[in-house]
Amino acid sequence: DAGVIQSPRHEVTEMGQEVTLRCKPISGHDYLFWYRQTMMRGLELLIYFNNNVPIDDSGMPEDRFSAKMPNASFSTLKIQPSEPRDSAVYFCASSLVGRLSPLHFGNGTRLTVT
Amino acid sequence: AQSVTQLDSHVSVSEGTPVLLRCNYSSSYSPSLFWYVQHPNKGLQLLLKYTSAATLVKGINGFEAEFKKSETSFHLTKPSAHMSDAAEYFCVVSLNNNDMRFGAGTRLTVKP
């Protein structure tokens, strides 16, 4: 199993540009999560999906952020327009059903908005 | 409500000495508890998980954690630190997949 795959690993963009982060979860996992990690705030849950359906997006900072999961093997997190304060590492994670199932994280996308 | 507190933001040990990373949790119900490790520029990796089958849980790389309900603690230990253990460690409490709470993290430094 290749694990959770995120792309790109690094993204540098200018303020106002659209940014799209991609995630391929582990095959067979029913849950997919998007997290953001910063020094100031630590790990923050942005949104999670169950069977491709968004369940809780209360962590999405504002309307500039959107996430989709068109099928079981692909999800995107889009920021439009991007701002310098969006600079962070964004992680995607997936897991099986049930509270005993651990999260499997990708290696993250480091986003820098100048 | 559930929450998790990691009592030390930074722990520094010498190579070959024991490691203790402290975690206290708060939960109204019987929780699941996890420890994750994050090496620089990497995602979080599961070290071990408590599933209520045994209070002493063994994980990867020689780490273990003991669930103490009376103390609401789930401290992570290792008898002898290795240089490769230097990383950030996160304690996580979960009632279910929708409600996982991460601690703020403890950065472990290992001195030669």
The minimum CA-CA distance between B4 and chain A, rounded to whole Å, is 13
A81 has a pLDDT exceeding 80: yes
Which pLDDT does position A92 carry in this prediction?
96
Measured distance CA(A44)–CA(A66) in Å, rounded: 15
Share of chain A above pLDDT 90, in %: 85
Give the nearest partner residue to B51 out of A42, A93, A100, using CB atoms. Answer: A100
User: Tell me, what's the pLDDT at B101?
Assistant: 86
pLDDT digits (tens, 9 = 90+) for B20-65: 999 999 887 778 899 999 999 899 999 999 977 788 999 999 999 9
Whether B107 has its CB under 8 Å from any CB of chain A: the answer is no
pLDDT at position B104 over 70 = yes
User: Per-residue pLDDT for A104 more than 90?
Assistant: yes
Bridge partners for A102 per DSSP = none
Asked whether the predicted pLDDT for residue B97 surpasses 70, the reply is no
Question: How far is Cα B62 from Cα B48, in angstroms, rounded to an integer?
Answer: 10
pLDDT tier for residue A90 given thresholds of 50, 70 and 90: very high
